[in-house]
Each structure stands twice: as structure tokens, then as C-alpha cells.
Chain A
């Protein structure tokens, strides 16, 4: 062979090395997930695993990972395995390890009680050393040695119990204390992230391929932690809320489903306290807001994108809409309280809440509808015009149907926001902390005809009504007390109900969008 360093297209050597490195990546992943679980309180760090505390076991694992990572680097550097290591690990890796070691240095010296100048000094020294170790040697050393030392250091701290379940570290100047059950998982997360990256790098044989795999591992671990937060949050609320939600749930006398939590009020006479009035209040609130915001928002979007000439006016409207969308909800609430309430019977009412939330929803519906309408291809408009069809007919029968999925997306996002709003309801709709079933809004049956204008009235719309987020807030500020059994359980059930209501609205929206998309494309 003329070229000794020629790379084979098919890699069949290095299998043992790759297998060990792959195993290390897997162990790092497991350690990372365990750390996450411990951080979210799903695991306790002082549980016993094989006779040892979990924190010590994790320490051993992390220590082992650190040692093996250094081993990968040395094996490659000393030429036992052929890799494609580049001359340096690169600036980004160097900067990352510098940052990590500066932080470690400052944390240790802080715990040791050094003054600020001393902390900075130690941080700088360690940072410089890490930078030199990463940037100067060949890549196989540069991207393993600093990582291995981080992991080894963390592992030693955990094994020796310096960082353990009993840790209580006061933070000078912050009036706060760090406890072991936060610090141990954090240390494990840091160490396993670093070793996972480094081992993945070794698994790929360093070089471009190694960095590629390492980047994947980092991204997967980050995505995993985001998902863990999401799932953890939902699981937490669900676990806490289920007992309250299913309190008294069962099949009743006539073979009907009994679900007192959703069908009862919270009055003195109710056997099991329920959230029916607030649930109905929230549903009507969202329906009212959508009924107000969607026609106005879509109408405005049609005007802006089809009729108005692109210019200063549309620009100003766009800025105003974007600003309105980011306006804090309490400001909308104040506006509703000062402007709408005097006009609707001078008291907090369902309709004032609907309109306030409608105002909040309006900008998002306008923005997304406008984008959806602009995204409808001009070819459709041309084709329609060439057939002699008028502009309005074209908008109605071609442009709007093609824009419906986009509009629906906007409404879904908006409903998710307004259904959980508390501040505007607090100021405009009110309602009791623990409303009885009789306080539920009877909107459908509330319409009354009269002989004088406006001929139709609906007192249900003009009454103060409770809604789920507001009731939750009111319960908490009232100190979780009241004439109900187990208010804690009741409040968690309420929270879960609110979460489910929002999810149901999402599901409806997504189904609608799916239906219209299918209709457009199949």
C-alpha cells in the first residue's frame, strides 16, 4: 500500500475498544437519568443499594467512568488503538472545560472559606490548567483527561461522603442553604454529562466522527432532561390530584356514572365537595372568548392581508398586535375591571371575563391568521380571478378554507394561555372561593325574552362566576381551609382538573386542524 495511513471504508477493527467505550456511554446515560430522577424526588439518595447509600454507589460509578475515560485517551495516545484524533480538542471544548473547572475551583475554595479574591485566584488557576490540558495536547488526551478528572473528582467527593445526603452548605451572602439531596444529583448530572460526551468521542475514534457522536449524546441527554421535567411535572400533578379527582367516583344507583368531584358544588349540603361551578365557568369563559376573538381576529387578518395596502398602516397594526400579545395579563384585567365592569351591571360578571380574555386572545388569533392567509399561494387567487370570481368570493371559498389549519393552530395556542389565566378573572369575574352547585353559570337556560329592547337578556352572563384557576388561587390565599373535607386533596384535584380541561381543549383543536388538513390534501 502506498499510503500507510489510508482509512478503511469498512471498520472492523477496534471492536473491544469501541465496545468498552459504548458501555461507558451507556453507564453515563444511566447515571444521568438516575441523577435526574433523584433531582425530581423520584429516587432518594440515601436509599440503600447493595448495602450502600445510593449517593455512594453513584460516586463509585462516576469514579469508574472517570478512570475509564482517561484510559480511553491514554490507550489511543499511546498507540494501542488507531484513532483519527486531531491535533487539538478545539476551542469550544477548551472553553467548556475551562468554565467547568473555574466553577469547581471557586466552589471548593468558597466552601473552604477563602475570601473572594482567593476564590477567583483558585478558579483562575484551575481554569487555566483545564484550558491548557484540553487545548494543547492531541485530541485524544485533550477531550478525555479533563473530563476524566472532573468525573474522578466528583466520584471521590461522593464516595468519601464529603458530598452526601447529610450535606448542608450555607451560601454566604444568599441567605440560603444547599442540601445534599440537591447537590448530589447535580454533581452526578455534571459528571455523567462530561463522561458521556468524552466516552462517545472515544467510541467514534475521536476526529470528526467522534465529535459527531459526542454531540448526539449531549443532545440526547439534554432532550432527555427536558422530557423528564415535562413528564415529571405532569406526573407530579396527576399523582397528587388523582385522589381528589376520583373522590366518590363510582357507579351510582341507576347504573349511572357518579363523579361527584366534577358534578358537585362545594356547598355545605354536598356530600362530596366538587368543582362543577368553576369547571363550567372555565368552559363558558373559553367558549365566550373564542366566539369573540376568532371572528374579529380572522376578519382583521383578512383585511390586513387581502385588502389593506402593505405600508405604514399595516406595519403599525403589526407592531401594536405584537405588543398587545406580550402585554401582561394583569393589565388586561385592570382594563376589564375599569372599562367593562361599569358597562355590565357594575359588578364582576361572566361576560366581562369572557370579553377580557377575548381581548387577550385577539392578538394571537390575528397574528397567526394573518400568517396563515399570507401563506396561501397566490396561484389560487390568480386562478380564481382568471375565472372571473370576485375578490370576496375568492377569499371566502379558496383563501379562508386553505388558511383554516393555520388559524386553528393560533386558537389552540391562545386557548392554552387564556384557560389558565388567573389575574384577569380575579379582577373581572370573581366568584366564590367554594361556590355551591347553584352558583354554576346557567348560560344556555338563562336566556330570557322581554318586550323591551334588547329583547333578549341573560342574567347568567351578568353574574360573578368562578373559574378553575381563580378558585385554585382563592383557595390557596384562603389558607386551604373551608367547609370541605381535606382541602389539600381538593385543591390538587382542582389543579389536575384545570390541566385536563386545557388538554381537552388542545385535543379538540388538534383534531379540528387534522380534519381540515386532511380535507385540503386528500
Chain B
């Protein structure tokens, strides 16, 4: 009798542990040690006490984390938890939303990107971004890839360059080929570089967007649910690509799919509703033995 009783009591206690985030109920305390994580390798991006408000809405609450270079960092969490907001803070894309108000520090190689006088063009050249739905420009595949370098004046093309003999179509060809190869798209499109990019399939378009981002030669690549609009085969290609890219680039990827995070990432940060970072650790640790009860519930599918 006593044996069963104890077990039941214990089980009851586990069930009734305060884990809900609904207002009025007690919320599990977030502990700082769950989010302090010393990754192997140099820190590329250091985020310190980052707060974001959209008007009255407090979207991110004091997030601090260090992102190591040449690795894949996954950001997971339920919808509306602020993980995309966090990602968009890393290359200051939130500046484009008028109501967004960002406080805190984000350091790229030790330099705060939220200080006055920061050159957004340089910043975004160093930190590239790939969006949720593939968004190639309605231009040819070649123009899509060389768009960034052309606009930055790194490659001279066009009528004036041709007339003055400064055209660098060889360099452009090399760059386009290298970027497309790096994005694992070259073999599929090498014979139709002048076709419109909108004629590609969704998965090809997304890899084209990655190639377009690689063409500017960034150090960090931010990906906002890059495979959520794609079919399983295209998704697995993108995932292979992400792992491959992590050899040379620092990749930060927001994802809805926990399997994807588990497959591709080295470390995982879990954001939960309310815009707080709850736990940040090695991916294996997060998925096998998380510290936070809420994270465990989320990962096992009980919540979110």
C-alpha cells in the first residue's frame, strides 16, 4: 500500500508542478544558469540584455546569449515567442519596422552594432539573411546572384562599364558560379542562368536566395524558418546545405521543426511565450535532458 501510494503522490506532484504561462497562474522561474552556455570556439555574436518593444508589446525580455562562430545555432519555440524578432535584431532588420524599439547590446566580433554611426550597409554585408518564403527578385538567375555585389559596386557591369572597358563579366561569371555551387544549385541551373528566377521550384528558389546571400561574402548567415514553405525533399536539401555552410560561416537558424533543429544544429536556444530565452545549451543536452520543465514539456509536445 505504501509503495503505490508514494508513487502516485510523486506522479501527482509532477503533474501539478506550476508550468503554465497563463496569466494568474504561477510561472516556472527562469534561471540564468540555464541560458549561460560556454560554447566551444570563438564568440561571433554576443547578445547582452536585449529588449524589444513593438509599441506597448514587450516582444523580447532581456535576452543574453553568445553565438559561437562556424557552427549552427538553432532558435526554437512556439509561435509568437520572439525568436524571429531576435533574429531580425542581429542584422538590424527591425529598424525597418517603425514601431520596433530595441534596447541592449549586440556585439559582432566585439563591436556593438547598436551604437551610433554604425554602417548598416557594411553590417548587412557581413550578416546576411535568408527569409521564410523564398523571395528571389523577378530577374534572371544570374542577376539575382550578382545583385548584391553589383549594387555595392564590387562588380562593374552595364553599358558605361562596357564602354569604358571596365566591365568585369569574367569576375561576375566566377562569382555566380561559385555562389551557386556553394548553395548546391549550380548543377541544376548552370544551363539557364538567364532564365527568370521565378520559374524555379520553391526549393531551388530558396537555395538561390542562399546563393544570393553568399555572393556578398558574409560572415554570419541568419535564416528565418528557411524550409517551412518547402516540401520534404527540398527541406532535406536545405538542411544538408546548412550543415555544410557551418564549416565556413556562422549560421543562426530559426525553426518551427524540432526535428530540424536536432538534425542540423550544434547548439539550441529555446524561446517560450512571452519573449524570454528559457534555455540555451548543446543541442543534445536540450533535447535529451533539458533543465527547465517548460522546455521539456515543449519538446515532448505537451505545450506550444
Contact = CB atoms under 8 A, between A and B. Distances in A.
Nearest to A377: B135
Interface string B83-103: 000000001010010100000
A170 B152 CA distance: 80
Interface in A367-408: 377, 379-390, 393, 397-398, 401-402
A388 B196 contact: no
A312 interface: no
Given A379-B131, A520-B196, A521-B198, A386 B124 contact: yes
Contacts of A382: 93, 96, 131, 135
Contacts of B216: 387-388
B125 A388 contact: yes
Interface stretch (B31-39, B49-57, B70-78, B115-123): B115-123
Given A382-B93, A383-B209, A521-B196, A388 B152 contact: yes
Contacts of B124: 385-388
Given A520-B196, A521-B198, A522-B196, A383 B151 contact: no
Interface in B106-128: 120-125, 128
A241 to B, nearest CB: 43
B133 interface: yes
B137 interface: yes
A393 B93 contact: no
B174 to A, nearest CB: 19
Contacts of B196: 520-522
Contacts of A389: 121, 147-148, 151-152
For chain A, which range describes its interface: under 10, 10 to 19, 20 to 34, or 35 or more residues?
20 to 34
Nearest to A389: B151
- Counting chain A CB atoms within 10 Å of each CB, the highest count among B93, B96, B136, B138 belongs to B138
Contact of A520 (B91, B138, B148, B209): B138
B129 A397 contact: no
B87 to A, nearest CB: 11
A219 to B, nearest CB: 36
A388 B121 contact: yes
B213 interface: yes
B151 A387 contact: yes
A390 B121 contact: yes
Nearest to A379: B135
A84 B294 CA distance: 62
A322 B93 CA distance: 35
Interface in B175-228: 195-196, 198-199, 209, 212-213, 216
Contacts of B212: 383, 387
Nearest to B144: A383
Contact of B137 (A383, A390, A522): A383
A386 B128 contact: yes
A230 to B, nearest CB: 35
- Counting chain B CB atoms within 10 Å of each CB, the highest count among A380, A385, A390, A521 belongs to A385
Contact of A380 (B121, B122, B137, B148): B137
Contacts of B96: 381-382, 385
Contacts of B91: 386
Interface in B135-181: 135-139, 147-148, 151-152
Given A521-B196, A522-B199, 17 more contacts: A379-B131, A379-B133, A383-B131, A383-B135, A386-B91, A386-B93, A387-B125, A387-B147, A387-B151, A388-B121, A388-B122, A388-B124, A388-B125, A388-B216, A389-B151, A397-B147, A397-B151
Sorted nearest first, the 5 A-B pairs with minimum C-beta distance are A388-B124, A379-B135, A386-B129, A387-B148, A388-B125
21 contacts: A309-B98, A379-B131, A379-B133, A380-B137, A381-B96, A382-B131, A383-B135, A383-B136, A386-B129, A387-B148, A387-B151, A390-B151, A397-B151, A401-B138, A401-B139, A402-B138, A520-B196, A520-B198, A521-B138, A521-B198, A522-B199
